[in-house]
Amino acid sequence: MRHGPAGLEPAPGLVEAAVGARASVFAFDPLLDSAAISWRDWNRMLDMVAVSQSPIVITHGTDTMTYTGAALSQCLHGHDVPVILCGSMAPLGAGEDAEENLELALMADPGPGVWLAFNHRLIPAGNIVKHDSRGADAFQAIPQDALDSGPSARRFKDAAVGVLTLTPGTPARFLEAALSVLDAAVLRVFGAGTAPPDPALYRVLSRKAAEGMRLRAVSACETGGLTPGSYAAGAPLWGAGVENGGRDTVEAAFIRLWLALSARA
pTM for this structure?
0.96
- For residues 8 and 71, membership in a common domain is answered with yes
pLDDT in tens, 131-153: 999 999 999 999 988 766 677 89
pLDDT at 147: 67
- For residues 73 and 32, membership in a common domain is answered with yes
Please provide the DSSP assignment of 27-79 as one string: --SS---GGG--HHHHHHHHHHHHT-SS-EEEE--STTHHHHHHHHHHHTTT-
- For residues 110 and 173, membership in a common domain is answered with no
pLDDT in tens, 151-204: 789 999 999 999 999 999 999 999 999 999 999 999 999 999 999 999 999 999
- Give me the mean pLDDT over the 101-107 stretch: 97
- For residues 114 and 206, membership in a common domain is answered with no
Q: Which domain holds residue 249?
A: 161-264
- Give me the mean pLDDT over the 217-226 stretch: 96
The residue among 70, 84, 79 whose CA lies nearest residue 122 is: 84
pLDDT at 152: 81
Residue 152 lies in a domain: no
pLDDT in tens, 22-33: 999 999 999 999
Whole-number average pLDDT of the chain: 95
Q: Give yes or no for residue 98 having a pLDDT over 80.
A: yes
pLDDT at 71: 98
- For residues 180 and 100, membership in a common domain is answered with no
